[in-house]
Structure 1
Amino acid sequence: MDVLVLTHGTRGDVQPFIALALALTSAGHTVRLGAPAGSAALAKPYGIPFVPLADGPNELYGHPAVREVLETNYRGLRGKRLAMTVARMYRNKMDAVLDDMADAARAGADVIVHDIVLPGRQLGEWLGIPTVRACLQPFWVPTRAFPNPMHDLPLPVTWNRLTYLTTNIWYQILAGHTNRWRRNKLGLTRRGGYLDVLRMPGGGSTPLLQAFSAHLLAPPPDDYPSWVQTTGPWLLPAPPDWMPSTDLNDFLHSGAPVVYVGFGSMAGSDPGRTARMITEAVRSAGVRAVVGTGWGGIEASKNDQDILPVGDVPHDWLFEHVTAVVHHGGSGTTAAALAAGRPQVVCPFVLDQPFFARRVHELGAAPEPLPQRQLNATELARAIEMAVTDQSFSISAKRLAEWIRDEEGIDRAVRLIEDVARPTISRRSLRRPPSRTRPGTPCARRTPGP
């Protein structure tokens, strides 16, 4: 089975798809991974064929407007205006990404697996092959069980499904220009529903894999369509030849308890202030910290004996060696901390992060969330001290780790993708003329026009 995997975004968006590509390769399939060029170093240690896509919107993370909307979570009239400004910048940057995706797909595949925010369904329509969507957040599929995690207004339960219109509006603002790409690059006519992420252009649907733990959904939805499968998280193991630096190894095995602190691409408008707050909180809590500088650029001091700044360190290895994990509530970091069985302190910024923060707390693995807008050194120190000293958090975290392992998320995802691609592979085999095909010669595959 030939699989094209497409994703875009920061490390948290890309890493689960590297894990999927690795698992598909281990299952004997041929895989290409299309992802931002800047993330090539993440995939390289695993030997996965990498197709660089334009970095596109990733180039905007240092922009003042982007930092402000991430820090304020789009609140107020100014937040809404900034959101529209950022959306325009996003659309302009995505043009090159879309063209690179089409060029990657032109080589053909038996199935395309793509992040739901990317128009992979339209590539499937172009090539005449099946597609599988994947999402890392629970705000895409409407349910009566709970309101849209992006929706923070208190509304009656009967309105829960309606709140998911927020996601649809947000997506159409970001992706509304793809019809030009669909017409000019793919040569496809405009069809109803081409901007509806839950169905194929013209009608019908394709499988949707939710790559997070079903235990984070509460109450469990009983109204998801049959084509929605919550597999469990897709966790990426450390590269086989990876070794920690001497400084990191020494730091983890000497002195007071060590916590991990990292906010990924979320560091607010003043990364220096964030670093100073972390340092003060760590000292007040009587612990030491490995600080992930991340895309957000937390400016942690390299001269503080209680703080060790690090770049890209595999979370599955690192979290096993710390006492607690302090993070922003991104789906990937949340899953890695749950799988490691470590207590958490979650400081959510935007989108799905408040939802994950609340659920980890409700499941007993973390103190109450500390929203970024309320975050200060005193509250952060108190939460860290609770996570490190209150054994109830550790007990709950270990129980959750067992649940995560039992889900076998990545293996389940591979089986589901194989099921989707099997009819296409069978049809291709029937069309192959046995008497004219030499052994070892790849079969012809439909190649789209320019």
Structure 2
Amino acid sequence: MYDQTLPEVVPTIDAELYHDEPLPAYTELDGRINIDLDSKIARTLASFVPEPPAYAPPENFSKPQISRRSWKIRLNIVIQVVGSRGDVQPFVALGQELQSYGHRVRIATHDCFASFVGGSNLEFFPIGGDPHDLMAYMVKNPGLIPSMSSLREGDVQRKRAMVEQMLSGCWKSCIEPAAGESRPFVADAIIANPPSFAHIHCAQALGIPLHLMFTMPWTSTRHFPHPLANLNGAKLDAGAMNYVSYTIVEWMTWQGLGDVVNSFRSSIDLERINTTVGPNLAEMLQIPFTYCWSPALVPKPADWPGHIDVCGFFFREPPQYSPPADIHRFLQSGPRPIYIGFGSIVLKDPSAMTRLILAAVRMSGTRAIISKGWSKLGSDLNPAEIDTANILFIDDCPHEWLFQHVSVVVHHGGAGTTACGLRTACPTIIVPFFGDQSFWGSMVAAAGAGAHPMHHKLLTADKLCDAIRFCLQPTVISSVQKIAATMSAEYGVQTAAQSFHSNLPLESLHCELLDDRPATYLYSIRGNRIRLCTVAAHILVQGGRLKSKDLKLYHSKPFNITNERWDPLTGLSSSGLSTIKGIVTATGDMLASPYTAVQQAGPSDSAAKTTSKAAANFGKSFGKFSGRFLQGAVVDLPLAVADGLRSVPKLYGEDVQSHGEVTDAASGFMVGGRGFLQGMTDGVSGLVSKPMQGLKEEGALGFAKGTGKGVLGFATKTSSAAIGIVAYPGQGITKSLIAPFRSTTRKSVMAQRAAEGEHMARTEGLEHLDVLRRFDALMLHGGSSGTDATSASPYIV
């Protein structure tokens, strides 16, 4: 329904699948990180790569068809986007489509896009961060490893500070009204691109659905490596290494930003997560993912599960545009020009790039429209250097309109610009700078729709001239016209909206009194639970049917994040490093806090008052130090060992039973007791059952293998059980003790929900008596509407 699938699992991108010409080799300049396939860490991670799953659905399988007419529930949707205008623009198109379903849509992105988003009739919320600085940093540091100059000049710290600002801004976008907006806003669902980072954590804190959408591969697959990974070596299975490249890239990203993310999680009352879990949250939690590219270029890999869709590029409705006189005159004065522009890329030497472009255009005998972009190409040139009969420099101009009037497009390889060029049947030349731009350049070349990508550091006037001439060949023009015809039959934005709706928890999303509203509260009475929306809850409180204290926040999509341990060694080392880091940080605070009090002392403060503040600060810091030390020694380290020992059987293919989730002291004792019984029983019985099972399957050799598994299982399972009977209750007690101090976020969300309910009750003209009657009728039937099992049907055709 949503995608085409690759016919078989292949180890790398198969050039023959797209074109009879081999894919160009990636260079080390394109922003990808080198991964040594023969390194110990690569081989270790590869050992955890699962066998290719069989995701072929039955022939009659289809996702629910959601139509605008049948969809009832009106959601507050926040779309969090980090990146350039090319990253934001597809989500503007999506936001407009979602509005047609009746949703209230907010785009949360950088401040500089306020007018662009607002002009599209969408709500805007600023999250901070400067995309100009971000693009300049990425051009300077195209891979994940920063250069020495960036370290010396403080670029890394500035980037980390920018990420901190954007994380905070993303959270505020979920629960605060926009500046000048009187209507309260609390998100009922989040759509985000992965680089916004805050998405999963905001969704977990609110307990609401999350849907990721992106223009480059971000999900592990055996079919091709991560676009930011450059694989070296050949001793391991290529498909496995393609798969593991995603884990390595995510792991390296987490090393640079994991502490920033965990600090953000603490600020919204979430537990910290460790390195074994943090980098791979989206896949571990099976977050729905929609990829915004055409399957005509990159079909959906067969090893991607059903909650991942490839739906086509996102295109907005072509804007109403009348070209200024200089563009109109230039287009009319000669043959179709080529287009050259690098959009939001910030070049180090724009003058040199401009002269290179002019030389290439002159050598190729073509005319060119050159977009100045963020680098202001052409601004430093002497007017005498510009052949105005054949060259026109322009400011911003809609690509949807302009590309219909040019013969070839030359650009940096942003997914949106690439899509627009292909859709308008323009042969394409990509000059990548960083990120996924080389990936798209290779895909275009493999499809026969343009020249091989040429990294900007390797670009010369001769190479660009040759590429322009290549793109003007009839065979290339014919290839790109075929792709354009296929893309014209795709409806990326509409299909993405379908994907979003069909992945929502339809059975439990709606209010049981007003089925066109999302449930936000849970009211429990006599063992029954009723889902209520904000406005219904407000009316019921005002009508005296219930009290505010009886309401709890309802999580339509709860997230359970557990710190997964692969084995006792990695579990202990990971927990140990985290504990040591926490102790070191607490020690630094303890030593610095008295000095901070002295620095903050005012001129009128007495020495005794300053000393008292210093002592108080020291006491608080010492308390944090003691707490971190005790938690690490008494809870975290034993828990890591117990979890690691429980996971050992996974290493030789045995399933490990779940022992439940620890949420408080009571569940901690239950999990500890259950784990003890399971561990002791399985450990002892395995001494007999494993050898017998092996004998039955493989004879004498199987008996020997089974004996080894039985002995190892006995040692690990019984040890885990013995340690866990203390560790899990300790974890539960710790959570119970901490819970009262982690209520700030919950109270804040409750306050915003209450304000939202009051505003809706006052402004939306609902019949309050009707809501009260519905509630009374529901109470007469035992407090349950009985609609859970069929609640999806009103929204599905």
TM-score interval, normalised by the smaller of the two chains: 0.7 to 0.9
Contact 2:247/2:279 (<8 A) preserved = no
Alignment of 1:333-348 (within 5 A): 333-348=417-432
Contact 1:302/1:309 (<8 A) preserved = no
- Match among 204, 213, 216 for residue 125 of structure 1: 204
Instruction: Supply the AA of the counterpart residue of 1:29.
Output: H
Indicate how the Cα distance of structure 1 residues 52 and 274 shifts in structure 2: closer, same or farther if over 3 A, else same: same
Instruction: Supply the AA of the counterpart residue of 2:140.
Output: E
- Match among 92, 101, 110 for residue 161 of structure 2: 92
Contact 2:293/2:312 (<8 A) preserved = yes
Distance 1:416 1:391 in 2: 38
Alignment of 1:205-224 (within 5 A): 205-217=286-298, 221-224=301-304
1:60 Cα deviation from its structure 2 partner: 4.6
The higher radius of gyration belongs to 2
Instruction: Supply the AA of the counterpart residue of 1:89.
Output: R
2:610 aligned residue = none
- Match among 225, 229, 252 for residue 151 of structure 1: 229
Distance 1:265 1:371 in 2: 16
Distance 1:58 1:423 in 2: 43
Contact 1:213/1:232 (<8 A) preserved = yes
Q: Deviations over 1:349-408 (max 9, x none)?
A: 2221111111101111102222222201111012112213x1111111111112223331
Q: Deviations over 1:156-189 (max 9, x none)?
A: 42422122234213431453211111112x1222
Indicate how the Cα distance of structure 1 residues 132 and 435 shifts in structure 2: closer, same or farther if over 3 A, else same: closer
Question: What TM-score comes out, normalization by structure 1 length?
Answer: 0.87
The answer to whether residue 114 in structure 2 is matched with residue 31 in structure 1 is no
1:441 aligned residue = none
Distance 1:266 1:24 in 2: 30
Indicate how the Cα distance of structure 1 residues 449 and 155 shifts in structure 2: closer, same or farther if over 3 A, else same: farther
2:269 aligned residue = 187
Instruction: Supply the AA of the counterpart residue of 1:145.
Output: H
Alignment of 1:19-418 (within 5 A): 19-56=93-130, 58-62=132-136, 66-70=138-142, 79=147, 82=150, 86-106=155-175, 107-118=185-196, 119-138=198-217, 140-156=218-234, 157-158=238-239, 159-176=241-258, 177-184=260-267, 186-191=268-273, 195-199=278-282, 204-217=285-298, 221-239=301-319, 241-299=320-378, 303=383, 304=386, 305=388, 306-388=390-472, 390-418=473-501
Q: Which moved more, 1:170-179 or 1:104-113?
A: 170-179
Indicate how the Cα distance of structure 1 residues 83 and 363 shifts in structure 2: closer, same or farther if over 3 A, else same: farther
Instruction: Supply the AA of the counterpart residue of 1:406.
Output: A
Aligned residues: 432
Distance 1:60 1:125 in 2: 27
The answer to whether residue 747 in structure 2 is matched with residue 449 in structure 1 is yes
Unmatched segments (≥5 aa) in structure 1: 439-443
SS where residue 134 of structure 1 aligns? strand
SS where residue 429 of structure 2 aligns? strand
Instruction: Supply the AA of the counterpart residue of 2:141.
Output: V
Distance 1:395 1:279 in 2: 27
SS where residue 401 of structure 2 aligns? helix
Q: Deviations over 1:300-352 (max 9, x none)?
A: 55943122222221111111111111011121111111111111111122221
Instruction: Supply the AA of the counterpart residue of 2:77.
Output: V
Contact 2:247/2:280 (<8 A) preserved = no
Contact 1:326/1:347 (<8 A) preserved = yes
SS where residue 231 of structure 2 aligns? coil
- Match among 76, 86, 89 for residue 12 of structure 1: 86
1:267 Cα deviation from its structure 2 partner: 5.0
Instruction: Supply the AA of the counterpart residue of 2:120.
Output: Y
SS where residue 323 of structure 1 aligns? coil
Indicate how the Cα distance of structure 1 residues 435 and 361 shifts in structure 2: closer, same or farther if over 3 A, else same: closer
Indicate how the Cα distance of structure 1 residues 396 and 27 shifts in structure 2: closer, same or farther if over 3 A, else same: farther
Indicate how the Cα distance of structure 1 residues 235 and 173 shifts in structure 2: closer, same or farther if over 3 A, else same: farther
Contact 1:87/1:173 (<8 A) preserved = no
Instruction: Give the superposed CA RMSD.
Output: 2.8
Q: Percent identity?
A: 28
Instruction: Supply the AA of the counterpart residue of 1:238.
Output: P
Q: Deviations over 1:238-293 (max 9, x none)?
A: 33x43221211222222133111112233532111111111111111112212122
Contact 2:292/2:314 (<8 A) preserved = yes
2:711 aligned residue = none
Indicate how the Cα distance of structure 1 residues 26 and 104 shifts in structure 2: closer, same or farther if over 3 A, else same: same
Q: Deviations over 1:115-137 (max 9, x none)?
A: 11222111111111111111221
Q: Deviations over 1:72-131 (max 9, x none)?
A: x679xx847748964433111122212121111013122110111222111111111111
Instruction: Supply the AA of the counterpart residue of 1:277.
Output: L
Unmatched segments (≥5 aa) in structure 2: 1-73, 176-184, 512-517, 520-530, 541-550, 555-744, 749-797
1:11 Cα deviation from its structure 2 partner: 1.3
Distance 2:358 2:322 in 1: 27
Indicate how the Cα distance of structure 1 residues 183 and 81 shifts in structure 2: closer, same or farther if over 3 A, else same: same
Contact 1:339/1:401 (<8 A) preserved = yes
Instruction: Supply the AA of the counterpart residue of 1:175.
Output: L
1:435 Cα deviation from its structure 2 partner: 10
Contact 1:56/1:94 (<8 A) preserved = no
SS where residue 282 of structure 2 aligns? coil
Distance 2:435 2:538 in 1: 55
Contact 2:135/2:345 (<8 A) preserved = no
Distance 1:170 1:86 in 2: 18
Instruction: Supply the AA of the counterpart residue of 2:488.
Output: R
2:631 aligned residue = none
Contact 1:66/1:86 (<8 A) preserved = no
Question: What TM-score comes out, normalization by structure 2 length?
Answer: 0.51
Contact 1:56/1:96 (<8 A) preserved = no
Contact 1:56/1:97 (<8 A) preserved = no
Distance 1:267 1:100 in 2: 24
Instruction: Supply the AA of the counterpart residue of 2:338.
Output: V
Distance 1:170 1:132 in 2: 24
Contact 2:371/2:394 (<8 A) preserved = yes
Distance 1:194 1:123 in 2: 17
Indicate how the Cα distance of structure 1 residues 316 and 406 shifts in structure 2: closer, same or farther if over 3 A, else same: same
Contact 1:364/1:393 (<8 A) preserved = yes
